[in-house]
A and B are shown apart, each in its own frame.
Chain A
Amino acid sequence: MSEDFSDNKTIQAQSSETISGGGSGITPDMDYVRPAEVGEQDLYHGHSFITKWIFCQDAKVIGVQYFLLATFTGIIGLILSWLMRLQLGFPGLAPFMTAEHYYQFVTMHGMIMVVYFLTALFLGGFGNYLIPLMVGARDMVFPYLNMVSFWSFFVAVAVLLASFFVPGGPTGSGWTLYPPQAILEGTPGSGWGIMLMCISLILFVAGFTMGGLNYLITVLQARTRGMTLMRMPLTVWGIFTATVLAMLAFPALLVGALMMSLDNVLGTSFFMPTILKAGEVLEYGGGSPILFQHLFWFFGHPEVYIVALPAFGIISDLISVHARKNIFGYRMMVWAIVGIGALSFFVWAHHMYVSGMNPWFGFFFATTTLIIAVPTAMKVYNWILTLWRGNIRLNTVMLWCLGFIVTFVNGGITGIFLGNVSVDVPLSDTYFVIAHFHMVMGIAPLMVIMGAVYHWFPLVAGRFLDEKLGKWHFWLTFLGAYSIYFPMHYLGFIGVPRRYFEMYDSPYVASAVGMNEFISLAAFIVGAAQFILIYNIIKTLKTGKPAGHNPWQACSLEWLTPTVPPEHGNWGDRLPTVHRWAYDYSVPGAKEDFITQTTPPSEVAHTKVEKT
């Protein structure tokens, strides 16, 4: 078996001899980077198809696997949303659409999109692919564990989808799975469905923990020479912080899911008070339904940032590259990510202002929630200030970035409504909430994902995606999604409660029928537009324009691999050495408008580099 392993290579410390070229201010040791303190990583190179592509230990392949599986589940979530919109816009059109099915689709759509699509895609997909490349590692530090992580996710998805085929169907308790109704009759899927949901979530958490440990240790302990924390691209900062949140927030979900399973199967009463059902008192008693809500939202709120922080990081990089300008206020951006992450553990009960918890908590949680608005606003300012006096390439990637800014600011500001406790009272549990979170953690992260796909596809596949199709894809998605969710806020103002199978005949609700039809039509178009991307990818894989090395003229490490797409081990014989941050665009005096992270200072001694 030993031939499967690369020989341990030693890294030569870069000596001052390598300095070349002349110019003012060059001192002999200005290119000095201290020698490696971490030895060469021992990698398993697969030879058969199975070890290379299926049970693969290469983080890049695992990243693509995560990406594909998450996208597959995401498409199921998309189809479920179509069915829901069909019912809401045109009730009675689909004969199979009963209230049971509607609520099952609502639940599965929510859970799939939040956990199995966005979380898996950002952390499992982009995290696996980009972290080792961006910090200059050969691979994730525990490749085997990384592989098991993906396959746990695979099983979790399989269990989740299996619930469509069990007696009673999937759970229809809403994605928040609130007890007691999640495990009582009167809610679809109260037996098998909720059980499989809990099992699937537990598997997901277990699998994610394995992956998460990898991401964290790779960032903390396996960076290449010269890669200090404050030189890391913001993508890595975002994914790293999100992973920390996940490691600390998922335990609450795990415990909640476990306790609910026991309530369901063994008849314990963790969350179950005395309940009267159809004239009979059930054999439960003494439990607290609100305890579950606390556990759920202690997970649920950080979960929002688990999705948002990688998106923040990635968008910063995309804007910077395509505006040909350094990200404005890098240090502020890093601290904002870390600060938002830390604060996100102290705001969870803003989801519970009207849940019946002690109302005095409202003061505390409203305050912490609005404090979070400050670092978030700083990030927005820095994105637009990065555009200011930039040299903006208006390509597809940049379009997604601009779309992100509009939708994120919109959704962020409606978040201030909902976070401010007494403003939340009339709006909570209405369509305003739906509009808010879809705008801020549905559409905005989706914009980032799409931008990231168009940006990094040339690295992954070696070819550009088609720009023209990309622009159609963007405009249909952006304009469509905006016209779904912007008017939806006004349904919330009217007071239409969420999770209504039919709007019924209340006079003020009836006035919104036309809007519902319009929203549904827009939703069908936006959903269909996503298939443009799939077509684009299939088409481009064969006939796309070859990208070559560093096609976007970016500074960060992932573009500087010796081969494109990068091979297993990423860096060939020699690990890169980093001399500067990832954002040296348009430095005055430099020949080109970017200086890569590996360019030694002596080569650019004549330029006015301010920050390394």
Chain B
Amino acid sequence: MEPTSVLKRTPLFAAHQKLGGKLIEFGGWEMPVQYSSIVDEHLCVRRAAGIFDICHMGEALVTGPGAEAFLNETLTNDIRKLTVGLGQYSQMCHAHGGTVDDLYVYRLAPMEFLLIINASRIDVDVATLQERLCASPHRSGVIFENASDRLGATAIQGPRVAGFIDALFVGPSLAGTTVNTASELKKNQIGAWNWTGQRIWVARTGYTGEDGFEVVAPAALVEDIWFKALAAGHTACIQPIGLGARDTLRTEVCYPLYGHELDEQTSPIEAGLGFFVSFDKGDFVGRTALLEQKTNGTKKKSVAFKMAEKSAPPRPGYAIFSDGQKVGDVVSGTQSPSLNLGIGLGYVPPELSVPGTRIEIEIRGRRFAAEVVKKPIYRKSVS
């Protein structure tokens, strides 16, 4: 990460101060890592409800008659599957298969797409998209806007959120997916609501493994939405949640974080995200390299693991061993608040990626037994 002299602040900065958030630097932003404690906040999202500041994430709008074709030639997933009011997870890759970024795309209107991109990748993504647009045959039919500064976002997540979301966003949707109430949105659907006279977007998506919603709104409205959400969710025990718990929540359900599971040298195939790469939609950047990997296999494969003996929590950068040899690296690791044991994600040769395989994690010079497990590491109990 490049050193930044001045950290950027989200529209919720004052709210974090007011709520006692402990602030850290993340991707050039001054963000809350926790308010009460990571474990407390993590369990609150698993059992009740939490609200996250995700204003640091970037937004890009791609509109016009050429938008669908342009996005389909630069992203990995098949955007033709997106009907109006639907979102999908996708990657943007290099020609060699490495990942520029992973992102969410929503089709807001027939020719209007919203991309939610990683905070640390906004500059790279915008440059890459603009460069590719200039070289695209569809360029004259596409308007591209980096809307990261004028839009903000929050995520409201947890099993009790659907119980109060309709009190927050009142009435039927005005665009996107047509629903009578926000709680009628199904997974990956997005709809528009009115907030003090301005349009906001509410999607049933998230990054925690729990049910929940993400809200994209003009930056000036975000603080009002945030405090109204805390009020609406009060009886559901909603709490503000920092980046610390955001990371433990996503690690338990094995959602990738750019810079950890994915980077410029790592492909979605290696990361186990082949489901989001469509080979039958026509050509796209990276297709040849990714198809070669899918067909012939890769040198490394992403795995989830649990510690099999008492140890310190595994951390990113720790070495993975098998039969006395270093075979890979941990890319994400923590103490799982839900399972109360060390868990992680890492890369190993494919032959060691089968669930049940015994590996070792080196922690400060000592190796501790761990076991490759099926993803996700944590699955919420079906109620």
Bound pair (A, B): no
| B contact set with A: CB distance below 8 Å | none
| A contact set with B: CB distance below 8 Å | none
